[in-house]
Structure formats: structure tokens, C-alpha cells
Structure 1
Amino acid sequence: MSRLNYQASRFLISAPTLAKCPSDGGAEVAFAGRSNAGKSSAINALTHQKALARTSKTPGRTQLINFFSLGEDTAHRLVDLPGYGYAKVPEQVKLEWQRHLADYLQRRTSLRGLVLVMDVRHPLSEFDQTMLGWADDQDMPVHILLTKADKLKAGAAKNALHQVRSRLREWEDLVSVQLFSALKKQGIEEVHARLDDWLFAERQ
């Protein structure tokens, strides 16, 4: 049973830059991923809500850092980071997103961990590997969700999980991986347990 009530999550604020983010106290976990990896759907499934995080038929429309509090509990937060790699926006805009994202990831002291969302059929993209490299530099723990696991047969999904774990063996002390399906509600309890561990952890 989760120690935190993720179902009570509610929108707190959207911030275009680090300076506009909420007060840097308490603890938060950020979700990152390519725009078409199913990040918003994963957040909605984890909070048992249909539209907490905005899903769009045009991936990449989330250009802000979105904060969610766990009900009245603003000391524990979930953060939806801008998606990358698919959005049809000018290169200058993408560079601006990346700069604000880097600012948040490197300077936000309340950040306890990063959930990196990848489509199980297309894992470890260039963006994903950039994020993992950053996390390694910051000694930040990462939990990878291999989403859309329902799109593959059970054997193929397990094989994809094994392949990703094998490729990340050098980071196994910092990175964990699981299969996830927002559609089938697969893997939700495992993610809740990870979020609980991080959100109750002291900053190192």
C-alpha cells in the first residue's frame, strides 16, 4: 500500500523557467521522456485520473514545467517536464526548452529522482541517453518506464526489458527499469513504491 495518496494529485502551477517554479522545498520527482513516449498517459494512470497531465494528439505541445501537488500536501510533488524530439517547433524554441530543462535538472535541490519514460518498442533514444548521462553526472537516481507494454506480446516485452537492462548494466546502481502499460494499468504499484521511496528520502 502506498504511503502517499497519488489519487489526490492536483495541478499546482506551470512554470516556463526555473525562476518561476514553486519554492524549492520539500521533495519532488520529475517525469521526462520523448513527446510520443506516453508520459502524460503514464502520469494520469499513476494518479488514477483521466486528465491531470494533458495528453495531445500533437506530441510536444507541453512546453512548460508542470507541477502537481498530492492534494493539500504541497511538500510532495510530481513534475511533468517538457517532452522532446518530436515537436514541430522552430529549432530556436527547442534550444530554449532544453536550456530551461537543464536549469531545472541541475539546480533544483528538492528533486529526488527522475522517471524516464520510453516507448518499449523504441527505447534508449538519443534524448534518453542524454538524460541518463546528465543523471549520472548529478548522481541522480532514475527509474525507467518502458511504456505501451501492451503493444507487444508478453515474451517480446520481457525480451525488450532484458535488453534495456543489459545495455544499462554499468548504471545499475543508479538506474532501475520496469514494464508499464497505462492502458492495462500494468506496473502502477511498482512505480508508487519507487515514488514513495524517493519522496520520503533525505536529500543526499
Structure 2
Amino acid sequence: MNLFRHAAFEISVASPDGLPFSPAPEVAFAGRSNAGKSSAINTLAGHTRLAYVSKTPGRTQLINLFRLKNGAALVDLPGYGYAEVPAAVRRQWQGLLEHYLTRRENLVGLVLIMDARRPFTDLDRKMVAWFGTTGKPIHCLLTKADKLTNQEQIKVLRDAKAEAASLVGNITLQLFSSLKKKGIEEVEKIVGGWLNPEIRGEAS
């Protein structure tokens, strides 16, 4: 499908109010700091430096918007949960994320990035709780799956699905590896369904 291929950077803003108005659908990417969000975005886009990858958690502090070839947008949200960020900054990021996720009218779904070795932390559950009440879908990428054995991957996916079933929201999950380029087609199939106007029309 190549949904994310040739995504182009459009704008970085410090507040959701700075995002340009657009009737085109948006898909948000969110996750804990250092969960592999930037690497996942780069892998999906087939671009090594589209989203900034830092070894320092909490480095991405802005909302970054990337425009797809079909007119839709991928919105990269600041990573959350990095303890060494000052409390006031953490509260600012939390408010920014919640504002965008609950009020952006053309947002059609959330891709939640979680390290497969530590899925569904308390902050991940809070993120699901915020967004799940909107009725819009959440697709979880269990990243860095290459760091687990095949048996561990099976167990992690099974346990994560059980956890997701206990939470409020329309949640799907998959394993993903930026290093091995594993899971790209599944992401494109699911998110492509969100961006299909006919599907969205039936759901609204």
C-alpha cells in the first residue's frame, strides 16, 4: 500500500492551536519516551531521518506534522513519561497531548507506541483512557520485538491483548520491529482503513 511512503515534514508547533486547519484526516502517533516512536515513524515512511531519533528520552517536545501523498497527515506527538523532565514541563506536555487528542476534529485514530518489553505502563493506560472515550480506534505497536525470542513475542502479544480487552476503547495490537522491518504491512492495512473515506463515512 505504501501509505506512509514519501511523507513530507510540514510544520512543528508547541501547541495544538498552532496546527493548520485542514479537513484532511490525521492519525496521531504517541508513546512513552524512548519507546521507539521516532524509529517506527521513520521505518513506516521508508526514511531514515524524517522523525528525529534521540538516545535521550524526552527530546521531542513539539508536535510535528508530516503530510502524506494522499493529503492525510501523520502527527507525531511528544513522548511522555520521562522522569528527568521538570514537573512543570511534564504537566505542560500532558495538557498538550490531552487537548490535541480529545479536541482535534479531523483526528481519526491513534497509533500508540509501546516497548514490547514493557507494554501498558500506567501512563499508557492513562493515554488509552483519554482517547478511548472518543470512540476513535487505537492501534498499539509493540516495538523492539526483535529483542524478544519467538516464544516471548507470542506471550507478550497474548498478554497485551488480554490487557487491552480490559480497557475502554476500540484497541488493536501488533508486534513491530524497526530493525527487522517487521509489521509494516499490518500497520498500513489498519491505518489505511481509518483513512478510507467510505469506511469513515459508515462509522460516523
Residues 17-72 of structure 1 show CA distances to partners (whole Å, capped at 9, x for unaligned) of 1210011421010000001100000000001110101000111111111000014x
1:52 alignment partner in structure 2: 50
Q: Is the 8 A contact 2:133 2:168 kept in 1?
A: no
Structure 1 segments (4+ residues) deviating >3 Å: 170-173
2:86 alignment partner in structure 1: 90
Q: Does 1:187 align with 2:183?
A: yes
1:135 alignment partner in structure 2: 131
Residues 83-130 of structure 1 show CA distances to partners (whole Å, capped at 9, x for unaligned) of 011252211011111111111111101100000000010000111100
The gaps in structure 1 that reach 5 residues or longer are none
TM-score by length of 1: 0.93
1:124 alignment partner in structure 2: 120
Q: Is the 8 A contact 1:35 1:84 kept in 2?
A: yes
Judge which range, 98-107 or 169-178, deviates more.
Answer: 169-178
1:79 alignment partner in structure 2: 75
Q: Is the 8 A contact 1:24 1:108 kept in 2?
A: no
2:140 alignment partner in structure 1: 144
Judge which range, 20-29 or 163-172, deviates more.
Answer: 163-172
1:16 alignment partner in structure 2: 14
1:42 alignment partner in structure 2: 40
Question: 1:46 & 1:176 partners in 2: Cα distance?
Answer: 18
SS in 2 for 1:83: coil
Residue type of the alignment partner of 2:119: P
SS in 2 for 1:67: strand
Equivalences, count: 200
SS in 1 for 2:108: strand
1:177 alignment partner in structure 2: 173
Question: 2:84 & 2:64 partners in 1: Cα distance?
Answer: 20
The gaps in structure 2 that reach 5 residues or longer are none
Question: 2:62 & 2:23 partners in 1: Cα distance?
Answer: 20
TM-score by length of 2: 0.93
Question: 1:87 & 1:30 partners in 2: Cα distance?
Answer: 23
Residue type of the alignment partner of 1:165: K
Question: 1:87 & 1:64 partners in 2: Cα distance?
Answer: 18
Distance 1:146 1:5, change over 3 A: closer
For the aligned residues, what is the CA RMSD? 1.5
